[in-house]
Structure 1
Amino acid sequence: MTTKTSELLAVAAPRTVAVVRGISDDQLDLPTPCPDYSVRDLLGHLFDVVVNFQVLARRGEVDWSAKTDHLTDGWRDRFAAEADRLVEAWSDPATLEGVSPGLGLPQETVGDMALIDLTVHGWDLARATGQPVAVDPEVLAAGHGFMDRMGDTGRQMGAFGAPVPTLPEATDLDRLLGRTGRDPAWNR
């Protein structure tokens, strides 16, 4: 079975996995568009995202404050495997029903949170390490829909920065990045 959430994650995940696989060890200390996050820090956070959102799909509770060093031997392959498990975790239609006991949000919104994290942090890492990244139009549309519903709440909770204005001719990706508080023109 699949859900719209798992289908979108299945499109986004391989692109982010490709970026993660393209990060060399000598790039781990580079800055990223996320203030106060190096590539290493952001990879750790993104690992937490792909692992913790599997638990959230099952309506479990997670401890976001637990800091695990994910960047040990074989971390690129482990990230790819966890990203596949994330897609699988959201493939059962029952995962989208009801409210998340851990977050108090509709499960469908929680799934969208996983998608936006995977997509935007994939861009962050690509930009920080000089890699190209393309985002599927359906993923972008879902990201904009999520920001329409949850952008203000996300900013109040510190998940997103203040919106960064973009030019009228900006791409959908640049507009989404600006909505999440990122400067689409960021360079290290």
Structure 2
Amino acid sequence: MTPTIDHGPAARRLAGLLAAIPDSALAVPTPCADMDLATLLDHVHGLADAFTRAATKDWPEGSSAPDSDGSRLPADWRARIPAALDGLAAAWRDPAAWEGMTEAGGVELPGEAAGHVALNEIVVHGWDVARATGQPYEAGTDEVEACLAFVGPAVEESGGAAIEGLFGPAVPVPDGTAPLDRLIAMTGRDPSWTPAYTPPARRAPAT
């Protein structure tokens, strides 16, 4: 099967947010309920590894999704998380990743579905990280469309209720809401969520 999605742009966008995050911001809240920023980043690190293994179909026996824990975030997370995201994107460029069955976090699913879950995780958590740290975020049109095509039917089938292991209850939004905000709302987040954190002002370049 020829890959229909390139995870690279979304992975690089998420990775690019990390350089602007000081250690002092790791305790700030995020749009993900019950996750501070350190815990969210640990989750991103873990999912990058899990979905790389899902693509290569190389997972440990009896693997399961560990709880995210900010205390596990390695000191060199600004380097390790981008490297893990690059590895995920590279793994899903292999057509074999999209074929047959695979596993992610102890859950069996078709390779094609896992590829879409991986993209949605990167795009949505990129928004989470950006919003929590007061950074701008714009996802590619093709990425958002692919995510909506995956998330929309699942949310419709659930009637907007929470989907265990994936999303919280969908948040109602008005007709005409921008596609990225619709995706964010479908995955249980409030698109108007505002951060408690104010990023430090950047110094003007020396003249």
TM-score (norm 2): 0.82
Matched, 1:87 2:85: no
Amino acid in structure 1 at the alignment position of 2:122: L
| C-alpha distance in structure 1 between counterparts of 2:46 and 2:163, whole Å | 21
| C-alpha distance in structure 2 between counterparts of 1:89 and 1:150, whole Å | 25
CA RMSD between the two structures:
2.0
The residue aligned with 2:199 is: none
After TM superposition, give the deviation of residue 66 of structure 1 in Å: 6.2
Q: List per-residue Cα deviations over 1:63-82 (Å, max 9, x = no partner).
A: 31266755323211111111
Q: How does 1:137-176 map to 2 (within 5 A)?
A: 137-151=141-155, 152=157, 155-176=162-183
- Please tell me whether the aligned partners of residues 47 and 70 of structure 1 are also in contact (alpha carbons under 8 angstroms): no
| C-alpha distance in structure 2 between counterparts of 1:4 and 1:11, whole Å | 14
The residue aligned with 2:139 is: 135
Matched, 1:110 2:114: yes
- Please tell me whether the aligned partners of residues 17 and 79 of structure 1 are also in contact (alpha carbons under 8 angstroms): yes
Structure 2 CA distance for partners of 1:66 and 1:34, relative to 1, 3 Å? closer
| C-alpha distance in structure 1 between counterparts of 2:56 and 2:162, whole Å | 26
In structure 2, the residue corresponding to 1:155 is in which secondary structure? coil
**Structure 1 stretches lacking a partner, 5+ long:** none
In structure 2, the residue corresponding to 1:125 is in which secondary structure? helix
| C-alpha distance in structure 2 between counterparts of 1:147 and 1:67, whole Å | 23
| C-alpha distance in structure 2 between counterparts of 1:70 and 1:35, whole Å | 19
Larger mean Cα displacement after TM superposition, 108-117 or 156-165: 156-165
After TM superposition, give the deviation of residue 159 of structure 1 in Å: 1.7
| C-alpha distance in structure 2 between counterparts of 1:13 and 1:128, whole Å | 18
| C-alpha distance in structure 2 between counterparts of 1:66 and 1:60, whole Å | 21
The residue aligned with 2:76 is: 74
Residue-pair matches, total: 185
- Please tell me whether the aligned partners of residues 98 and 115 of structure 2 are also in contact (alpha carbons under 8 angstroms): yes
Structure 2 CA distance for partners of 1:162 and 1:67, relative to 1, 3 Å? closer
**Structure 2 stretches lacking a partner, 5+ long:** 196-207
